[in-house]
A and B are shown apart, each in its own frame.
Chain A
Amino acid sequence: MSRWRRFRRLLGPETRGDVDAELSFHVEMRVRELVERGESPDRARELALRRFGDYEDSREACLVISERRERTMVRTEYVSELRQDVAYAFRMLRRTPGFTLIAIATLALGIGANSAIFSVVHGVLLQSLPFREPGRLYEVRMLYPDGTFYTGVSAPDFASVREENRVFEQVEAYSTGVFTLLGAGEPREVRGVNVSDGLFRMLGLDIAVGRGFLQEEHQPKRGRVAVLDHGFWQRMFGGDRSVLGRTVSVGGDPYTIVGVLAPGARLTTPADVYAPLEYDERFSATAQTARRSEFLAVVGRSRPGLALKQVDDDLRRVGTRLQVAFPRSNEGLTFNAIGLHQLIVGDVRTPLLVLMGAVGFVLLVACVNVANLLLARASARKEELAVRAALGAGRTRLFRQLLTEAVVLGLAGGLCGLAIAYWGTRTLIAAQPADIPRLGEVGLSTTVVLFTLAVSLLTSIIFSVLPTLHMTRGRLTEALHEGGRSGAGSSGHRTRAALVVAEMSLAVVLLVGAGLLIRSFVELMRVQPGFQTDHAMAFRLTMQGDEYKGAPQIRNRVALFQERLRALPGVTVVGAGTVLPLSGLGSIFNFTVEGAPPPPPNVNAEIAIASTTPDYFRAIGTPLKRGRFFTEGDHSESPKVAIINESAVRRWFPQDDPLGKRVTVGNDVREIVGIVGDFRQRDPGQESVPQLFAPHGQFTTRTIRIVVRTTSDPLALASAIRSEIRGIDPNLAIPDFTPLEQLVSRSVARPRFYASLVMLFAGVALALAATGIFGVMSYTVAQRRREISIRMALGARAGDVVRMIVGRALLLAAVGAILGVAAAQALGRVIQKQLFGVTLLDPLTIAAVIVVLGLSAVAASILPARRAAGVDPASVLRS
């Protein structure tokens, strides 16, 4: 059977000709028989065809069957050959376990790192948001004259957008806050959200237990009902369904729990408790007042088929109309929209893609390394392949055989890589890098597994194509003639040297990137944040409920807290303020300087305002530049005063002396009595912006941050502080204590995360490249044994030989470094935004990279060089 098949193959699959030959043979035989019986030839042919029946029909039927059979045969043969190839590949790989293990480990590292980063990229960037049709969701933001925008929208403006827009099917809003929860164990702070009537429906968030909010519950004072977040319900109430109907105190008001959201249902920011937004008189498209009291986040679902531009244009139209209708409040303001997905992942997009690119480089280096290993085996394999060719294997068959081996290696690497990716992803998530959004949604999904599979296959092709071409090139049988002598020759050696240069330059690109990111991070840490981070900590208190009905009660309580804490041993200063450095700006208010010309149209006439107690600046360690701090004398009955920072002086008083000037902030007129140094408000990399401080006695807030400066470790005082607070009011939520150092480390967590990951990748790439140098140098030494022996016989010393080999490695490294630095300059633009205080051509970074590369080249070549120097010339030359 199989011999016949091979014979048949020689003729080629000529089914059509075969069928014709067979059928016509039949007819001719019949004609011959009839002629022998005495019929005339013409008559005989006619009779024969009539006997045959429908000739064309039979022919067609035969063709269909034969062709089908042919196809099945080819397929069966292919499968059986593939099975042979795979079995053979396994045998080959088992025969060289060292090579196999190193190759699989290298690939696993490269593929695993890629899968891990891809699973993050997939979870954060590619997967759609957990909302119904998330592509049509936009956040509506206020656009200010200077081009900045804020999430906050006022209730009347929200009502106007809701009523007047032509692009949204639905416009909803919510406000967020932190509230004290009583009536469920210890008092604690919860994240609360007030939602508009259609928000859950628009986002597609379902209620798992109980019910959602009713329309009438949005009427003022009627909405004392709450829906719990599913996770919060599990944590706080152990998933007990009997919480429905229970009343708890949230922010001092009693709320009845009526429902629980479905698992995983949430807004873009996590929350614990939801309540209806109360539609008071401010929620009116015609309201004249309260238009500049922004406290809502507004989200809209656009009609199908609209682009961002159309949504934006329509919002601008509404904004312009409001400018005309309400010139006092809305002048210079308008709206714009941002896609919800863009809003959430916008600022992590580039860094994540850069990481993906970096890890791709690592994989490339891994490929090059395995290609190098394969090439090293090429000489040995060439003989084996020649034997197989001599036994009748065709070139394509050999090619396929080698490719099969590569794919087996690649898939094995991918499988191990998946394990690495699993572990890597868990570690990444556990590290909680700097509030990267949606990190909780990251995991090894089917997509990630498919990605890994695809990468493994692609990888196999990349690393095998060069060695395979190399091995099957030229006349295969030549290797047999060459006999036992190694046949890779100098062209193979050149290829390997080129590969080593390539992987070095890839490693250099990563090293330069890592170096720049680390330098940026160091520069960030060197920035003077404008406050003293050591020996101080802060905690937040939110004063709600019956004891804190009005501002006087709050003020008295804050004064009492400060007095008691100041009395604790080891405490030097206690102050309080509504914001902390590196933690945001505080509320924004309209701002004008008395007697000054109105600001140019592209400057926002507004300022960020925070309120503080007299000792606040001493507590955070920010110096007074001129004038005075607040005193206990700056209370609600005394003249209104303010302190501004130096940025505010530069912005609003470029020529004049601000001290003694009167300014309008919101509805208050204040006199500037002091100027304090700038402290960084967002992260150390962002310049300070104007900020105004008012005395807490004149500008009282329910939530305040108390800062305690101490002589020794501030956290040692935590329990003493806790019991003081509980002694005064047992219903206050127990706060978390934040050392001021932590404000800095938290604000640089992201750069640190990116820098350390790229550093890790660069390290892996460098190690792989060094292995490559080691391999090539060992090979060189083996090849040049005779030459080295002759040199030594002629008087070269061991030192000369070592220098020669190490010198060659350094030469390769130098070429790699030049190419790598050049490539890094070209690619550097993508990390420009992540850089701080360094340029792409940072000489220190590049010098360091060159030194590191040189040292690795020396380290990787010293062993082969020593081996070369240890050659015994006499024995080599005799052999």
Chain B
Amino acid sequence: MERPTPAPDILRGTLDLLILTALSRGPKHGYAVARWIEIATNDALAIGEGSLYPALHRLEERNWVTAGWGPSENNRHAKFYALTRQGRARLRVEANNWRRYAAAVFAALDAPAAE
């Protein structure tokens, strides 16, 4: 039912984590989330920013973020997203998972060559 969203492979499981992290610094509209990720990750999303939106909607459906319309900084009508309590809890779980996973990968990369 859900169509696959075009995103760089490396971001596939981590896009949700990035969005949740972005929103944990305060409510944002979609473009602001994109900008935050762009700056924070050194433009990892360069191609396929569009995949951000299905991800946002899915998070909304799961009640991890809540959305509402309001004026943007240049006074345009924009959809703002904010983290819910469940979203915050989810972020903690996902972040921990990711840290453990990354640590494991780094450990592997730094391991001495096998004899």
Known contacts A25-B76, A53-B49: A68-B61 contact under CB 8 Å: yes
In the complex, the number of residue pairs spanning A and B with C-beta atoms less than 8 Å apart equals 84
- At the interface, yes or no: A423 with Cβ under 8 Å from chain B? no
Q: Which residue of B lies closest to A54 (CB)?
A: B6
Do the beta carbons of B5 and A61 come within 8 Å of each other?
Answer: yes
Known contacts A1-B66, A51-B49, A57-B50: A26-B34 contact under CB 8 Å: yes
B1-35 vs A, CB cutoff 8 Å, 1 = contact: the mask equals 11101110000000000000000000001110010
Chain A interface residue count: which class? 20 to 34
| A20-55 interface with B by 8 A CB criterion | 21-23, 25-26, 28-30, 32, 50-55
Contacts of B76 in A (CB 8 A): 25, 28
Can you show 30 pairs from A to B with CB atoms below 8 A apart? A4-B66, A4-B68, A21-B77, A21-B79, A22-B30, A22-B53, A23-B53, A25-B72, A25-B77, A25-B79, A26-B31, A26-B34, A28-B76, A30-B31, A30-B34, A50-B47, A52-B50, A54-B50, A58-B5, A58-B54, A60-B3, A61-B2, A61-B5, A61-B57, A62-B57, A65-B2, A65-B58, A66-B57, A68-B61, A69-B60
Question: B30 is contacted by which of A1, A26, A69 (Cβ under 8 Å)?
Answer: A26
Do the beta carbons of B46 and A25 come within 8 Å of each other?
Answer: no
- Residue from A22, A32, A50 having most chain B Cβ neighbours under 10 A: A22
Contacts of B30 in A (CB 8 A): 22, 25-26
A222 to B10, CA, bound (A): 90
| B62-115 interface with A by 8 A CB criterion | 66, 68, 72, 74, 76-79
A65 to B3, CA, bound (A): 10
Do the beta carbons of A62 and B53 come within 8 Å of each other?
Answer: yes
A463-507 vs B, CB cutoff 8 Å, 1 = contact: the mask equals 000000000000000000000000000000000000000000000
- At the interface, yes or no: A87 with Cβ under 8 Å from chain B? no
| A42-98 interface with B by 8 A CB criterion | 50-55, 57-58, 60-62, 64-66, 68-69
- B106: min CB distance to chain A, Å: 30
Q: Which residues of B contact A (CB under 8 A)?
A: 1-3, 5-7, 29-31, 34, 46-51, 53-54, 57-58, 60-61, 66, 68, 72, 74, 76-79
- B74: min CB distance to chain A, Å: 8
Do the beta carbons of A65 and B79 come within 8 Å of each other?
Answer: no
A50 to B74, CA, bound (A): 24
Contacts of B60 in A (CB 8 A): 65, 69
A61 to B48, CA, bound (A): 14
Q: Which residue of A lies closest to B46 (CB)?
A: A51
A52 to B57, CA, bound (A): 16
Known: A52-B49, A58-B50, A61-B57. 7 other contacts (CB 8 A): A25-B77, A29-B31, A53-B6, A54-B50, A58-B53, A61-B2, A65-B60
A60 to B30, CA, bound (A): 17
- Residue from A18, A25, A55, A65 having most chain B Cβ neighbours under 10 A: A65
Contacts of B74 in A (CB 8 A): 32
A65 to B77, CA, bound (A): 22
Contacts of A19 in B (CB 8 A): 53
A26 to B76, CA, bound (A): 11
- A89: min CB distance to chain B, Å: 31
Question: B31 is contacted by which of A25, A58, A60, A65 (Cβ under 8 Å)?
Answer: A25
Do the beta carbons of B3 and A25 come within 8 Å of each other?
Answer: no
A495-527 vs B, CB cutoff 8 Å, 1 = contact: the mask equals 000000000000000000000000000000000
Question: B57 is contacted by which of A4, A21, A65 (Cβ under 8 Å)?
Answer: A65
Contacts of A66 in B (CB 8 A): 57
Do the beta carbons of A58 and B2 come within 8 Å of each other?
Answer: no
A28 to B54, CA, bound (A): 18
Contacts of B2 in A (CB 8 A): 61, 64-65
Contacts of A1 in B (CB 8 A): 66
Do the beta carbons of A53 and B66 come within 8 Å of each other?
Answer: no
A434 to B60, CA, bound (A): 70
Q: Which residue of A lies closest to B59 (CB)?
A: A65
- Residue from B46, B50, B60, B79 having most chain A Cβ neighbours under 10 A: B50
- A279: min CB distance to chain B, Å: 70
A-B pairs, top 6 by smallest CB distance, nearest first, are A58-B50, A61-B54, A53-B48, A65-B57, A29-B31, A53-B50
Q: Which residue of A lies closest to B79 (CB)?
A: A22
- B88: min CB distance to chain A, Å: 15
